Amino acid sequence: MIRIQQLKLSITEGEENLKKKLAKKLRIGIEEIGEPIIVKKSIDARKKPELYIVYTVDVNIKNEEKILKRCRDRDVFSVRPVSYQFPYSAPENCDDSPVIIGMGPAGLFCGYMLAKHGFKPILFERGKPVEERTKDVEKFWKEGKLCLSSNVQFGEGGAGTFSDGKLNTLIKDKTGKNKEVLKIFVENGAPEQILYDSKPHIGTDILVKTVQNMRTRMLQWGSKIHYESCVTDFIIEDGKVIGLTINDKEQIKTNTVILAIGHSARDTFETLYKRKVPMEPKAFAV
């Protein structure tokens, strides 16, 4: 497969002209080019009022080596598209369900991938389902009444759900993980253009529905989700977790716990510290 960067179309040109640009760049006929796959799309507004759409595209072409040799353009090169591969699926009759604490982005995608591959995870979220959480957030913004467990920080979808659906993308995605995240969003209702927009953006309204659709699939795959269920203690013996306490009263047994608690669960970090679970600070940029 050949990748071509820096293909510019004026803002008035349609994408149907993309093949013409490709043919000219590669010095071949249009009929020799397969359907272009848009990898990246951005706007170049440096020469206002002239605006351009800049594309990076992949195309399948016969005699690839011959064309590359003839073209000799640094913006034209051979690529092998990388797709993310989950390490392994659950063994048959697997009855050891992993427990995930938190249902923000980390917990949501962890649960989604485990459920998709047969592990049937159990998720505990101290907040409410995203549709109920939305009402609590709106009430806070309008009336200033804060629900301590269901707000912008806590609840299904995590804090990012109410940051207008901006998506973080990796500059170098060597394993295909980032692309897989975007694909999952699209499979669950997000617009397809987030797969190639240079700064993908969904918007809170769409993201809320996307999170709901992801939850529905997880439940169909055998996951169990418990809302308004805060993990208040960890039962540890001989340095290994054997169970959890939920809401200071209910205890469950488990030997596999995945922490996806985000940065706001200060009480959980304090509990982990008291239980002598090793922690270390991580550098971050502001």
Q: What is the pLDDT of residues 70-90, one digit of tens each?
A: 888 888 999 888 889 999 898
Write down the pLDDT at residue 184.
95
Write down the pLDDT at residue 135.
94
Write down the pLDDT at residue 14.
81
169 pLDDT tier (thresholds 50, 70, 90): low
Percent of the chain with pLDDT over 70: 97
| Listed ranges 149-153, 233-237, 280-284; the one with the highest mean pLDDT | 233-237
DSSP code per residue over the chain: -EEEEEEEEETTS-GGGHHHHHHHHHTS-GGG----EEEEEEEE-TTTT--EEEEEEEE--SSHHHHHHHH--TTEEE--------S-PPPTT-----EEE--SHHHHHHHHHHHHTT---EEE-SS--HHHHHHHHHHHHHH----TTSSSSSSTT-GGGGTTTB----S--TTSHHHHHHHHHHHTT--GGGGTBSS-B--HHHHHHHHHHHHHHHHHTT-EEESS--EEEEEEETTEEEEEEETTTEEEE-S-EEE--TTT-HHHHHHHHHTT----------
Pairing of strands 52-59, 37-44: antiparallel
Of residues 203 and 143, which shows the higher confidence score? 143
The predicted model scores a pTM of 0.87
Write down the pLDDT at residue 170.
67
pLDDT per residue as tens digits for the range 261-277: 988 899 999 999 999 99
pLDDT per residue as tens digits for the range 109-145: 999 999 999 999 999 999 999 999 999 999 999 999 9
Of residues 23 and 223, which shows the higher confidence score? 223
Q: Give the span between the Cα atoms of 194 and 52, in whole angstroms.
A: 19
Write down the pLDDT at residue 164.
65
Q: Which positions ≥6 away from 207 have C-beta within 8 Å? A: 157, 160, 161, 165, 190
The per-residue pLDDT of the chain, averaged, comes to 90
Q: Give the span between the Cα atoms of 102 and 158, in whole angstroms.
A: 8
Count Cβ atoms below 10 Å from residue 58 Cβ, excluding itself: 15
Over 90: is that where the pLDDT of 224 sits? yes
pLDDT per residue as tens digits for the range 7-21: 999 988 888 888 888
Write down the pLDDT at residue 25.
87
Write down the pLDDT at residue 204.
85
Over 80: is that where the pLDDT of 62 sits? yes
Amino acid (one-letter) located at 44: D
Write down the pLDDT at residue 124.
97
Find the mean pLDDT for residues 179-206. Answer: 90
248 pLDDT tier (thresholds 50, 70, 90): very high
Q: Which positions ≥6 away from 129 have C-beta within 8 Å? A: 155, 156, 212, 215, 227
Find the mean pLDDT for residues 223-235. Answer: 96
Write down the pLDDT at residue 82.
85
